[in-house]
Structure 1
Amino acid sequence: MVAFTSLIATALAIVPSAFSAPSGLTEDNYNSAHTDLVTRQGSPWQWWTEGSGQFSCQQQGGGKYSCSWNGQPGGGMVAGTGWGSGRKTVRYSGQYNAKGPGYLSLYGWTRNPLVEYYIVEGSALLAPGEPWTLRSNFTSDGASYNFYTAQRVNKPSIEGTRTFTQYFSVRTDAESRVGTVSGSITTGNHFDAWSKAGYRLGNFEQNMFMVTEAFANGTKLPSGTSTITVS
């Protein structure tokens, strides 16, 4: 994930049941507290930005969020809803109207080993910051995926500045999945495929999130809107 350093305060709704804020945190101190990655990963939503551009996000309750973005060079954002982690089925639906680099993906971390993982369901333009290496191909939930790895060197992580591996399951039709989107993600299928290719995950200690991520990559700039409901 792009290393975002500034947190934008916005009108975030406290979402019910599995999507509610942790006990003891009000909206005001919740926003001000989420200035480091490990704390954000323990929250029920993601909302953070970097660099210049226009970015907005609103949590609408019931696992639904909406956002819009128009990034400038060096600018980007991540917005989404999350809860729990590990082996589960995540369902999503809505509108993903994106241009430029970014992903609609399920995203999270593990420890021991330290891994940042993505399951990419849609993208207007696949333009990763680090080179991807193809490791395998597999199918899950009726879709075909390519499994890639990448390495980030001395970048922010849930354990501070570290060098770590990223895992990416990328739908082979990801770049055509813009507009009305829906699907199911059986996470265990991806974990098993990664392990079969020789890449295991560690301990799940933070939430996973269905996120809209947008970022500038050189002269390629992101823009768009999304409204996604997660269950």
Structure 2
Amino acid sequence: MVSFTTIVTTALALIPGAITAPSGLVGYNIHSNSLETRQTPWQWWTEGQGQFSCQQQGGGKYSCTWSGKAGGGMVAGTGWGAGRKTVKYAGQYNAKGPGYLSLYGWTRNPLIEYYIVEGWDVLAPGEPWTLRGNFTSEGGNYLFYTAQRVNKPSIDGTRTFTQYFSVRVDAERRIGEVSGSINTANHFDAWSKFGYKIGGFAGSMFMVTEAFANGTKLPTGTSTITVS
């Protein structure tokens, strides 16, 4: 088990400060400006300049290629009903630049946007992250952060809300050939123990590939992920 001192040191190395990602990078359906209407088993959204291509291939499998320019980004992934369950994933995640391979969803009362981040090349939070603690789940070591978004798009329109992030420690991040198992209940319970509860699940949750430009750092890569 990684010591808390080691984890905090790793955390400080991971956080690049108050770096701003595109303000709308929260998972819109490409055909709609409503987060609520995009809650389907397939999420596919882009903004700004760049070349982005993602396809749902059936059987829980999707693939993406991306090369973003300044201000450009994308989110794509396979979804299903949110809740306390185990999600398995496997495939290839070959990313360069800012972005995540993560499980993603929302709750209401309170309004929370949550991420369980399994892989990345560069972490670039939209708002400053605050470290709240660390925990283990299924043999993996995670850091728990929160952030606040003020008057930003949400599933309930423009709102102020909190983001929760479980992030694998740097030494355990998944990149290249990836596979893993996420027990969402372990994360929800850990967050609650730190004093950060979730609300009622809203719509679907998704295993997504997310990529976005961050200043002069531009995202490129490919992913082919199967979830079950």
**Residue 156 of structure 2 corresponds to which residue in structure 1?**
159
Match of 2:18 in 1: none
- Given that 2:102 and 2:117 are in contact with CA atoms closer than 8 Å, whether structure 1 keeps it comes out as yes
After superposition, the CA RMSD in angstroms is 1.6
Q: Which residue is 1:37 aligned to?
A: 35
Aligned-pair identity in percent equals 78
Contact 2:35 2:155 in 1 (8 A): yes
- Structure 1, unmatched stretches of 5+, are 9-31
Alignment of 1:50-65 (within 5 A): 50-65=47-62
Aligned pair partner of 2:209 in 207, 212, 217: 212
- Alignment partner of 1:88 is 2:85: yes
Aligned length, in residue pairs: 206
Give the Cα–Cα distance (whole angstroms) in 2 for the partners of residues 134 and 213 of structure 1: 22
Q: In the aligned structure 1, how far is the partner of 2:41 from the partner of 2:170? A: 29
Deviation of the 1:127 alpha carbon = 1.1
| Structure 2 Cα separation of the partners of residues 49 and 223 of structure 1 | 14
Whole-Å separation in 1 of the counterparts to 2:63 and 2:150: 32
Conserved? CA contact 1:123–1:175, under 8 Å: no
TM-score, L = length of structure 2: 0.87
Give the Cα–Cα distance (whole angstroms) in 1 for the partners of residues 123 and 76 of structure 2. 18
The residue number in structure 2 matching 1:12 is none
The question of whether the paired residues in 1 share the 8 Å contact of 2:29 and 2:37 is answered with no
Per-residue deviation, 1:35: 3.5
Q: Which amino acid aligns with 2:60?
A: G
Matched residue type, 1:39: T
Which residue in the other structure is 2:147 paired with? 150
Could you tell me how far apart the structure 2 residues matched to 1:191 and 1:177 are?
21
Return the offset for 1:116: 0.1
Deviation track 1:50-72 (CA, whole Å, cap 9, x = no partner) reads 10000001100000000010000
The 8 Å contact of residues 66 and 220 in structure 2, kept in 1 or not, is answered as yes
Q: What TM-score comes out, normalization by structure 1 length? A: 0.86
Match of residue 11 from structure 2: none
SS in structure 1 opposite 2:207? strand
Gap regions ≥5 residues in structure 2: 1-20
* Deviation at residue 224 of structure 1 after TM alignment: 0.3
Q: 1:123 aligns with which of 104, 120, 145?
A: 120
Runs of 4+ aligned residues of structure 1 deviating over 6 Å after TM superposition are none
Question: Which of 163, 177, 181 pairs up with 1:180?
Answer: 177
**CA apart distance, 1:86:** 1.0
Alignment pair present for 1:194 and 2:191: yes
Q: Higher strand share goes to which structure?
A: 2
1:74 counterpart = 2:71: yes
